[in-house]
């Protein structure tokens, strides 16, 4: 039987045809689950309590796993301690948000000192200004900054600013890209099957996408060209993840990014980079690493030093639409925007993240990817990632877009993740991970050995 073809090109698509390989681990499902329950009785009891307080027992979708997620009581460096006293090695660091590891001494000192002076004020601080100056100095696109309370809110404000700047309403995003919980980006994040350009609701409660949201495949400059040819006069912004998280932490190909910049310039649309995760690529963010400068960038996670926070930054003429003296201003309030505790933690984090620190983390990430590729050679598994990020996908690659990623055996990935948790390693249920500035070589050795062991179950 010939290999299935990708819907947008003639290249062979990834496949999960090797059912025998995946079936072997799935046959151990009950044993893996029983071992997890044996190790986590206290977390099980807490989850039972949580089910009475939270719908479904949790209040943050990304952390959920079956049968329940271990409750954490303490963390330091690369180690988590759960409610049952297990010491777990963290390879996800709160969804990539902690590049210095947990409770980094300089971050703890900065945040503690600020809290002692007051955690938040009804007024600005020099600390938030210092953090803004640092971001403007590093990010090629940043002439102005507006702080938010999350990456999701940063995207919301970037979309609002783009619409105000262009007088248009349509936002173009990539199939398979997640940009937070804002209504106008909650489309085609994880549809059951790749459909390419028809927006699919990711959640109940959305009012509709007509005239507001369009979808294109990632890494497909030809389809992007057609979308602008058809609707260029309606497009306010093109929203791109420079590291596509849910597709496997993959990078956009140069031709796609070049087309994106050219088409936005030609049609007067704003190019927005969502660097909430992608900022981790380097000292000047993904835009500095990839060499394409957007009009706006959304930030979160890393810049907040382990606290809630985010930012939208970019061209002065666009950000200045939020200046208070404008009759047509873009309104943006927030009790904790730029709050001094987050600003102090973020400033301490970014000060430590020198070019040398980024280079060391990225080299370590490359080592993990190389060693995982060697450990999985000949198997229907694909290793992807960039910088300090890595991902193991249950599909025979290559993976370039959501159509490629969507065929992965998610059940196998989640079970392998649980088996790794039984061995003391924390990755996502989709086997995504990252290293930090304090991750050690012996911890990488142990992770690779644990993955190799799981592959033989």
Question: 118 and 69: one domain?
Answer: no
Q: Is residue 91 part of a domain?
A: yes
Phi, psi of 215 (to 5 degrees): -130, 140
Question: 306 and 379: one domain?
Answer: no
Q: Look up the CATH number of the domain holding residue 257.
A: 3.40.640.10
3-state helix, strand, coil in the chain (%, to 5): 45, 15, 40
Rounded CA gap, 80 and 415, in Å? 21
pLDDT tens readout for residues 128-148: 999 999 999 999 999 999 999
Query: What is the domain extent for residue 310?
Result: 105-352
Query: What's the pLDDT score for residue 193?
Result: 80
Question: 220 and 84: one domain?
Answer: no
Question: 329 and 348: one domain?
Answer: yes
Q: Is residue 83 part of a domain?
A: yes
Q: Is residue 99 part of a domain?
A: yes
Query: What's the pLDDT score for residue 439?
Result: 98
Phi, psi of 209 (to 5 degrees): -115, -10
Q: Is residue 13 part of a domain?
A: no
Query: What's the pLDDT score for residue 194?
Result: 80
Question: 246 and 151: one domain?
Answer: yes
Q: Is residue 111 part of a domain?
A: yes
Q: Is 282 exposed, middle or buried (0-12, 13-18, 19+ CB in 10 A)?
A: buried
Domain boundary, last residue among 310, 334, 352: 352
Q: Look up the CATH number of the domain holding residue 399.
A: 3.90.1150.10
* Strand partners of residue 88: 80
Question: 89 and 190: one domain?
Answer: no
Q: Give the list of residues 6+ apart from residue 75 with CB closer than 8 angstroms, or none.
A: 81, 90, 102, 103
Rounded CA gap, 249 and 368, in Å? 14
Q: Please list the ranges in the chain whose pLDDT falls under 70.
A: 1-19
Q: Please give the tally of structural domains in the chain.
A: 2
Q: Is residue 4 part of a domain?
A: no
Question: 152 and 294: one domain?
Answer: yes
**Closest by CA position to 145, among listed 125, 131, 164:** 131
Query: What's the pLDDT score for residue 5?
Result: 37
Q: Please spell the DSSP secondary structure of 277-340, one letter per residue.
A: TGGGG-TTHHHHHHT---SEEEEEGGGGTTSS-EEEEE-HHHHGGG-TT-TT------TTTT-H
Query: What's the pLDDT score for residue 429?
Result: 98
Pairing of strands 87-90, 79-82: antiparallel
Q: Is residue 3 part of a domain?
A: no
Query: What's the pLDDT score for residue 18?
Result: 65
Domain boundary, last residue among 321, 352, 383: 352
Domain boundary, last residue among 285, 319, 352: 352
Question: 124 and 192: one domain?
Answer: yes
């Amino acid at each position: 039987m010939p290999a299935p073809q990708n819907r947008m090109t003639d290249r062979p698509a990834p496949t999960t045809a090797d059912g025998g390989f995946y079936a072997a681990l799935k046959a151990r499902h009950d044993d893996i689950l029983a071992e997890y329950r044996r190790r986590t009785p206290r977390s099980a009891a807490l989850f039972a309590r949580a089910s009475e307080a939270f719908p479904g027992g949790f209040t943050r979708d990304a952390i959920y796993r079956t049968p329940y997620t271990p409750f954490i009581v303490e963390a330091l460096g690369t180690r988590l301690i759960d409610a049952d006293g297990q010491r777990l090695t963290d390879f996800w660091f709160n969804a990539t948000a902690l590049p210095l590891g947990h409770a980094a001494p300089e971050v703890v000192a900065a945040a503690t000192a600020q809290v002692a002076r007051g955690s938040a004020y009804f007024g600005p601080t020099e600390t938030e200004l210092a953090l803004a100056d640092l971001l403007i100095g590093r990010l090629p696109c940043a002439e102005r900054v507006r702080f938010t309370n999350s990456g999701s809110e940063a995207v919301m404000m970037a979309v609002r600013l783009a619409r105000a700047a262009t007088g248009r309403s349509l936002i173009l995003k990539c199939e398979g890209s997640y940009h937070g919980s804002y209504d106008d980006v909650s489309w085609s994040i994880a549809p059951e099957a790749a459909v390419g350009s028809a927006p699919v609701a990711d959640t109940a409660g959305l009012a509709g996408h007509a005239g507001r949201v369009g979808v294109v495949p990632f890494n497909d400059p030809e389809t992007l060209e057609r979308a602008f040819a058809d609707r260029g006069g309606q497009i306010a912004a093109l929203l791109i993840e420079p590291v596509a998280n849910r597709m496997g932490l993959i990078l956009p190909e140069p031709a796609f990014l070049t087309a994106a910049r050219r088409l936005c310039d030609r049609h007067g649309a704003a190019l927005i980079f969502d660097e909430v995760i992608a900022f981790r690529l380097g000292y000047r963010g993904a835009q500095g690493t990839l060499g394409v400068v957007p009009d706006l960038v959304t930030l979160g996670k890393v810049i907040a030093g382990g606290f809630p926070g985010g930012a939208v930054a970019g061209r002065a003429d666009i950000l200045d639409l939020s200046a208070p003296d404008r009759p047509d201003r873009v309104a943006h309030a927030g009790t904790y925007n730029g709050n001094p505790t987050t600003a102090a933690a973020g400033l301490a984090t970014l000060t430590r993240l020198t070019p040398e620190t980024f280079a060391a983390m990225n080299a370590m990430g490359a080592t993990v990817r190389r060693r995982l590729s060697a450990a999985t050679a000949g198997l229907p598994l694909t290793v992807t990632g960039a910088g300090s990020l890595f991902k193991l996908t249950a599909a025979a690659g290559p993976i370039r877009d959501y159509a490629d990623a969507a065929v992965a055996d998610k059940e196998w990935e989640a079970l392998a993740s649980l088996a790794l948790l039984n061995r003391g390693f924390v990755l996502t249920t989709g086997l995504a991970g990252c290293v930090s500035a304090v991750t050690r070589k012996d911890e990488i050795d142990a992770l690779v050995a644990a993955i190799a062991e799981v592959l033989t179950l």
